[in-house]
A and B are shown apart, each in its own frame.
Chain A
Amino acid sequence: MTDTVLETRGITKSFGSLCASDGISIDLQAGEIHAVIGPNGAGKSTLIHQICGGLRPDAGQVLLQGQDVTALPTAARARKGLGRTFQISALAMEDSVLENVMLGALGASGRPWRFFVPVMGDRTLRDRATAALERVGLQDALHSRTAALSHGQRRQLEVAVALTLDPRAFVMDEPMAGLGAEGSKTLTGFLDGLRDQAPILLVEHDMDAVFALADRISVLVYGRIIATGTVDEIRRDPAVREAYLGDPA
């Protein structure tokens, strides 16, 4: 594990007197799943926003494949290979499943400025989209309206859209949220295989999934990383137990 794909260097972000990110340095290596856990209000969302481009850090840098992307907007980071899924599904609910994935493929192609050709007739885009749907097992729901999908299916669709981009790194914001035990298990299995394609920065509340998937875990409390290590290291870390699990050491 020497190939750093995604990295933050001391990023800091304050909202008024509240310091939501306090010098966070975190990295994602090729082939790994790196989980970020922390109690509510620890600053996980703020961190993700800064990595993906929704927020500009007050200080520090974000690097993607060694390149400084701190000043780039979300769309540019996506084009450089950052694939993201959302905690609350961000899908075009009025559209079909295929259309949502086609959007990803279209973004990957970088050619949205075509006004007269039917998008559905574009074989390249369509192949790319259907391939992604097959990966997540949604090939049968191709023409369903997204609004009609189950919660679990929407999660799968989120991942499929990210897959069409063929990203260098995934950033996933609580993909297990709202899934039942069965759904979590399926998705866990799927993500397990995904790490070979691109490493995953996983922000997650579901500890079973985290412990099952993560190669490394970072613990975020009040805007600071208090510990980073393997699952076992984190389980044993007294600071984590105290701060996060509330156990007196």
Chain B
Amino acid sequence: MIRERYVNAALLAGLLAVPLYALLVDEPFTITLATRAVILALAAVGLNIALGWGGLVSFGHAAFFGIGGYSMGILAFHAQNFMPLDLGFMVFDGTKSMPVIWLVAIITSALAAFLIGLLSLRTSGVYFIMITLAFAQMFYYFAISWSRYGGEDGISIYIRNDFPGLNTLVPIQFFGICFAALVLALWLNARLVASPFGLALNAARQVPVRVQTVGLDPTRLKLVAFVISGAITGLAGALFADLNRFVSPSMFSWHLSGELIVLIILGGVGRLMGPVLGAVLFVALEHFLGGLTTHWHIALGAILLGVVLFARGGVIGLLCGPKGQS
């Protein structure tokens, strides 16, 4: 068995090396593909905090991904069309500045995660899976009929938003921004897991009753984890919107929630780099299988089945052994 630390380091190095190589040989699309993998990984890292450590199987994380996306879409839409956004208590011009957009995305998705989590955590098990799905579906249908922001058509942002000192239209520079966000989130994740909060959360997943008898409230621990999780996924949504320069209700769809879960299980649940490996594999499969045949979904399905049946613990589990052994 390989030590997880080495696999993690190799993975990050590879994720950085591929686009740099692509830059060298002038293959900008490979950089775009890597950026997509990095952003999906970021969204899944967010979900993994709730799912892997908090044991909260959220089938509705698309809600936060979409809220992040629409934060970007709405702010940039008003800025690009010079239509000030009247919030009732103040008038806002919109913005094309990424840091501001990120802040809004993080705050709004954290707020939504707080409300959804507060209500959903009254349930558990399959009921939790389904109630989170229900909330995401509400956002989905709301976005579809929200004609002010394009409804089903979504919002096109013609030029990617700005980041001070960088030209975000250059693929490698935008990749750099996303990669930095991912590394930051992973660092945060690692710190979180080792912190007092992480210890309590980890126990709250395994034996909530024990956590209660030492005087802590497992539901509150899980709620905080859910909020942090939603905020990170929301940030990923904003970046994803900027990658595509486009937002639409499909960011809220249950397929996306499912895909995020798939990424995590594919890589390894509750493993720091599980979502990253999952996202890289998924994007690579999508790209290469999709290039071979239009019926590539069959192959993808077979591979996913194989992982569930023969590689419990995901690919990281396959490489490094079960959790907690290395």
Contact = CB atoms under 8 A, between A and B. Distances in A.
Q: Are A and B close enough to touch in the complex, i.e. CB under 8 Å? A: yes
Given A92-B206, A94-B206, A106-B199, A118 B212 contact: no
A116 interface: yes
Contact of B210 (A83, A90, A108): A90
Contact of A107 (B194, B209, B216, B323): B216
A120 to B, nearest CB: 7
Contacts of A165: 214-215
Interface in B168-226: 191-192, 194-200, 202-203, 206-207, 209-217, 221, 224
Contacts of A119: 194-196, 198-199
B203 A111 contact: no
A73 B198 CA distance: 23
Contacts of B212: 53, 73-75, 78
B164 interface: no
A78 B199 contact: no
A53 to B, nearest CB: 8
A114 interface: yes
Contacts of A16: none
Contacts of A102: 199
Given A73-B212, A108-B215, A92 B194 contact: no
Nearest to B323: A94
Contacts of B199: 99, 102-103, 106, 112, 119
A79 to B, nearest CB: 4
B194 A120 contact: yes
Contact of A113 (B197, B207, B210): B197
A92 B206 CA distance: 6
A117 B202 contact: no
Interface string A37-63: 000000000000000111000000000
A115 interface: yes
B210 A103 contact: yes
B197 A112 contact: yes
* Residues of B contacting A: mostly: helix
Contacts of A93: 206
Contact of A74 (B192, B198, B202, B213): B213
Contacts of B207: 90-92
A161 interface: yes
Contacts of A113: 196-197, 224
A108 B194 contact: no
Interface in A79-127: 79, 83-84, 86, 90-95, 99-100, 102-104, 106-108, 110-120, 122, 125
Nearest to B207: A90
30 contacts: A52-B213, A53-B212, A73-B212, A74-B209, A74-B213, A78-B214, A84-B213, A86-B209, A86-B210, A90-B209, A90-B210, A90-B213, A91-B207, A92-B203, A92-B206, A93-B206, A94-B202, A99-B203, A100-B203, A103-B203, A103-B210, A104-B214, A106-B200, A112-B199, A114-B196, A115-B195, A116-B192, A119-B194, A119-B195, A161-B210
Given A91-B210, A107-B216, A108-B214, 10 more contacts: A52-B213, A73-B217, A74-B209, A95-B202, A102-B199, A103-B214, A112-B221, A117-B195, A122-B196, A165-B215
